[in-house]
Amino acid sequence: MERRTLLVKALSLLITVVFMVVAGREFRAHRTFREPVVAGEGVTAVRTLGDYHPGVKGTVNDCNIYFLDSGKPGATVLVFGGTHPEEPAANLTAELFVENARVEQGRLLVVIRGNRSASTYTRNGEAYPTFYRIPTPWGEKTYRMGDRCSSPLDSWPDPEVYLHYPTKQMLAYMDIRNLNRTWPGRPGGLLTERTTFAFMELIRSEKVDVFIDLHEAELEYPVENTIVAHEKAQGVAAMTSMVLTAQEFPVPIGMEFSPVALRGLSHREVGDNSDAMSMIFEVAEPFLDRIRGITDEALLLEGKDEFVKKAGEHGLLYAPMDDSGWPIAVRVGRHASTVLQTLETFNTMETPERQILVSGVPRYAELVDKGLGAFFRDPSGVSEDRVFYE
**pLDDT tens for residues 143-167?**
999 999 999 999 999 999 999 999 9
| Per-residue model confidence (pLDDT) at position 282 | 98
pLDDT of residue 2: 82
Q: Is residue 1 part of a domain?
A: no
pLDDT for 1 equals 65
Q: From CA 143, how far away is CA 167, in angstroms rounded?
A: 36
Amino acid at 196: T
Tell me how many degrees the CA angle 141-146-152 measures, rounded to the nearest 5.
145
In sequence order, the 6+-apart residues with CB closer than 8 A to the CB of 19 are none
Q: What per-residue confidence (pLDDT) applies to 3?
A: 84
**Tally of structural domains, the chain:** 1
Of 331, 333, 387, nearest to 64 by C-alpha is 387
Is 374 among the domain residues?
yes
Distance CA 130, CA 122 (A): 7
* Distance in angstroms (rounded) separating the CA atoms of residues 153 and 351: 48
Q: What is the pLDDT of residue 4?
A: 87
- DSSP for 192-260 reads HHHHHHHHHHHHHHTT-SEEEEE--B-TTSSS-SEEEE-GGGHHHHHHHHHHHHHHT-SS--EEEEPPS
Is 372 part of any domain?
A: yes
Residue 222 lies in a domain: yes
Task: Determine, yes or no, domain membership for 8.
Answer: no
- The residues facing 171 across adjacent strands are 162
- Burial classification of residue 353, based on how many CB atoms lie within 10 Å of its CB (0-12 exposed, 13-18 middle, 19 or more buried): exposed
Specify whether the CB–CB gap between 239 and 308 falls below 8 A: no
Asked if residue 255 belongs to a domain, the reply is yes
Q: Is residue 120 one of the residues assigned to a domain? A: yes
Residues 6+ apart with CB under 8 A from 383: none
Domain harbouring 290, CATH code: 3.40.630.10
298-342 pLDDT, tens per residue? 999 999 999 999 999 999 999 999 999 999 999 999 999 999 999
How many residues are recorded in the chain?
A: 390
3-class DSSP state of 8: helix
List of the chain residues with pLDDT < 50 = none
Query: Which structural domain range is residue 289 located in?
Result: 33-389
Residue 2 lies in a domain: no
How many CB atoms lie under 10 A from the CB of residue 179? 30
